[in-house]
A and B are shown apart, each in its own frame.
Chain A
């Protein structure tokens, strides 16, 4: 570095440079904190959705099981396949009783 270089550097340094606008600071800080909160809120909502789905599936399954074992009233309407299965099972039990296979 020569003296001429240093002199030029000093002249450049003496000129005030532009800074970022004041509003940008607020915008950046607000944006930076909003992002992670939005992400955790989305995660909580997603978890709630999964739980609701899990509860729904459990409800349907318990209704189907209670219908198949023939007890209680079901909150879900019986489908034709379920009815056919129950009828088939009853017929089979009746046939086994008739043949005496259940009492042996």
Chain B
């Protein structure tokens, strides 16, 4: 009888797990809707490949799903830090740089670009690719996620002065590159 009660308990635990999983899925869905775009933008800027960025985003969210979502104090900061960490891991694992076509915009959405913006988007994308990853991530976090230097420093575990100088170098390179192109 003890054996049967143990099995029954295991089946009940499985049912409780299924209920918990449904709740977790709802929480994860909300988290995804709110922050996946930001995490994907950072991954795309760092990795340069949509396929790799999608794999990395999956890994990040599957790792987040194993955590207690209610305990995340700042989900956005946590997700951006996790995405950055995953991108660094994947870049280390790479044996070679993924070749990218400068005429094929990946960071910007080609379907949503006006014809006037298309040229600028290609030039910005090409200029972004020439930046080192640490400058690229600062540009994305500052320009698109609108984080302060102090927040970026906390996220990247560097000093605010280092972040500010990375930003300065990146902006100067971007500006000179766009001036060269005449845009």
Is the contact region of chain B dominated by helix, strand, or loop, or is it mixed?
helix
User: Chain B residues near A20 (CB, 8 Å)?
Assistant: 36-37, 40, 53-54, 57
Is the contact region of chain A dominated by helix, strand, or loop, or is it mixed?
helix
Range of interface residues on chain B?
A: 35 or more
**Minimal Cβ-Cβ distance residue in B for A21:** B54
**Minimal Cβ-Cβ distance residue in B for A10:** B143
Asked if B65 is at the interface of the complex by the 8 Å CB criterion, the answer is yes
Q: Is the CB of A24 within 8 A of B58?
A: yes
Asked if B153 is at the interface of the complex by the 8 Å CB criterion, the answer is no
Q: Is the CB of B10 within 8 A of A31?
A: no
B6-22 to A contact mask, C-beta < 8 Å, 1/0: 11001101100110111
Asked if B44 is at the interface of the complex by the 8 Å CB criterion, the answer is yes
Distance of A43 Cα from B13 Cα, bound (Å): 10
**Minimal Cβ-Cβ distance residue in A for B23:** A33
User: Chain B residues near A48 (CB, 8 Å)?
Assistant: 7, 10
Which of B73-81, B91-99, B116-124 makes up part of the contact surface? Answer: B116-124
- From A12, A37, A43, A44, give the contact of B21 (CB < 8 A): A37
Asked if B29 is at the interface of the complex by the 8 Å CB criterion, the answer is yes
B123-135 to A contact mask, C-beta < 8 Å, 1/0: 0100000000000
A27-44 to B contact mask, C-beta < 8 Å, 1/0: 111011101110011011
Asked if A25 is at the interface of the complex by the 8 Å CB criterion, the answer is yes
Asked if A19 is at the interface of the complex by the 8 Å CB criterion, the answer is yes
B residues adjacent to A (C-beta < 8 A): 3, 6-7, 10-11, 13-14, 17-18, 20-22, 24-25, 28-29, 32-33, 36-37, 40-41, 44, 50, 53-54, 57-58, 61-62, 65-66, 106-110, 112-113, 117, 120-121, 124, 139, 142-144, 171, 174-175, 178
Sampled A-B contacts (20; CB under 8 Å): A4-B175, A12-B143, A15-B108, A15-B117, A17-B44, A17-B107, A25-B29, A28-B32, A29-B32, A31-B62, A32-B24, A32-B62, A33-B65, A35-B62, A36-B20, A36-B24, A36-B66, A40-B13, A41-B14, A51-B3
